[in-house]
């Protein structure tokens, strides 16, 4: 069994047999792979928590007939700790992982840009330095752009007439001019379009100057755009961006 080594982010895991797991990994140079991690569910496992979703690991793998086998694992960063400690970050993170899993369809086709984008997004998400909502929208737009579904927020997505335009249509691919505009296009606020363009290019100073209402509208548009290209993301239904209670209030009665 020939061995190879690569950096990988764990996208998801599923149980296999008594104590094994199949991990879906997004590697830096080998694209998406599915690999068996033997014995990880035992408490004495030498991989232990390294192969949990959100982990960024340096792996040695052995090529198998159908699935590769993880032979060694060393952590590069355990983003899971920081992400799982906050429920909003966790539900956001699972959307990121599912999106990549869906966008990178072919196994063993290099997807380095997606890998780098995901690693960056998980790092920022785990530190909590930016709002999960903004990280999510920015990631979705950029990840779709890498896969060839870049939305247009300036020129008309249909005829290319220079913008700015008023109408947005996910099926048309972004903003559309008055003459191309399909029925049932939405008319978002100009500030929302500025925010979306900033999120697509990674212009954080502009993005962070926006108010909550603009961010919510951007959310809706991004969700519509993602739904058009990826159908239904299961984890998106469970997205919960309610911030964690900052100070616990002892003795107060409330049932969430």
In the bound state with another protein, the residue whose beta carbon lies nearer, of 179 and 242, is 242
Residue 107 β-bridge partners: 32
Contacts for 116 with CB less than 8 Å, ≥ 6 apart: 28
Contact predicate 27/11, CB 8 Å: no
| Spatial contact of 68 and 42, defined as CB atoms under 8 Å apart | no
- Which residue's CB is nearer to another protein, number 184 or number 255? 255
- Which residues within the stretch 63-122 sit at the binding site for another protein (CB under 8 A)? 75, 78, 80-81, 84-87, 90-91, 94-95, 97-98, 101
State how far the Cα of 188 lies from the Cα of 69, in Å rounded to an integer: 49
Q: How many residues bind another protein (CB under 8 A)?
A: 44
Cβ(157)–Cβ(181) below 8 Å? no
Rounded to the nearest whole angstrom, what is the least distance from the CB of residue 5 to another protein in the complex?
A: 18
Give 125's contacts (C-beta < 8 A, 6+ positions apart): 79, 82, 83, 89, 92, 93, 96, 132, 135
The binder of another protein chosen from 106, 211, 231, 253 (CB under 8 A): 253
Q: Which of residues 31-60 bind another protein (CB under 8 A)?
A: 43-44, 46-50, 52-54
DSSP string, 103-124: H--SBTS--HHHHHHHHHHHHH
By CB under 8 A, what part of segment 210-249 binds another protein? Answer: 234-235, 237-239, 244-245, 248-249
Q: Which is nearer to another protein, 129 or 240 (CB)?
A: 240
Is 250 an interacting residue with respect to another protein (CB under 8 A)?
Answer: yes
Q: How far is the CB of 3 from another protein (least distance, A)?
A: 20
Residue 7 vs 98, nearer CB to another protein: 98
40 vs 22: CA distance, rounded Å: 10
The answer to whether residues 163 and 169 touch, using CB atoms and an 8 Å cutoff, is no
Report the DSSP pairing between strands 20-27 and 32-37: antiparallel
Subset of residues 1 to 30 that bind another protein, contact rule: CB under 8 A: 12, 17-18
Identify residues 149-208 at the interface with another protein (CB under 8 A): none
Is 254 a binder of another protein (CB under 8 A)?
yes
Question: Which chain residues interact with another protein by CB under 8 A?
Answer: 12, 17-18, 43-44, 46-50, 52-54, 75, 78, 80-81, 84-87, 90-91, 94-95, 97-98, 101, 234-235, 237-239, 244-245, 248-256
């Amino acid at each position: 069994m020939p061995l190879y080594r690569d950096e990988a982010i764990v996208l998801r895991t599923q149980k296999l047999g008594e104590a094994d797991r199949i991990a879906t990994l997004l590697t830096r140079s080998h694209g998406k792979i599915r690999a068996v991690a033997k014995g990880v569910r035992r408490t004495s496992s030498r991989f232990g928590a390294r192969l949990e979703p959100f982990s960024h690991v340096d792996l040695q793998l052995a090529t198998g007939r159908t699935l590769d086998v993880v032979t060694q694992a060393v952590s590069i960063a355990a983003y899971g700790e920081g992400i799982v400690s906050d429920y909003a970050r966790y539900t956001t993170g699972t959307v990121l992982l599912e999106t990549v899993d869906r966008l990178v369809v072919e196994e063993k086709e290099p997807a380095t840009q997606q890998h780098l984008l995901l690693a960056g997004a998980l790092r920022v998400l785990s530190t909590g330095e930016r709002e999960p909502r903004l990280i999510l929208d920015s990631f979705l737009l950029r990840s779709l752009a890498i896969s060839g579904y870049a939305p247009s927020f300036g020129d008309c997505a249909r005829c290319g007439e220079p913008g700015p335009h008023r109408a947005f249509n996910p099926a048309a691919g972004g903003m559309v001019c008055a003459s191309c505009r399909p029925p049932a296009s939405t008319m978002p606020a100009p500030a929302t379009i500025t925010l979306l363009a900033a999120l697509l290019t990674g212009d954080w100073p502009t993005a962070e100057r926006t108010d909550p209402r603009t961010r919510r509208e951007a959310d809706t548009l991004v969700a519509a755009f993602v739904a058009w290209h990826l159908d239904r993301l299961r984890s998106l239904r469970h997205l919960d961006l309610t911030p964690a209670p900052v100070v616990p209030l002892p003795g107060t009665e409330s049932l969430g």
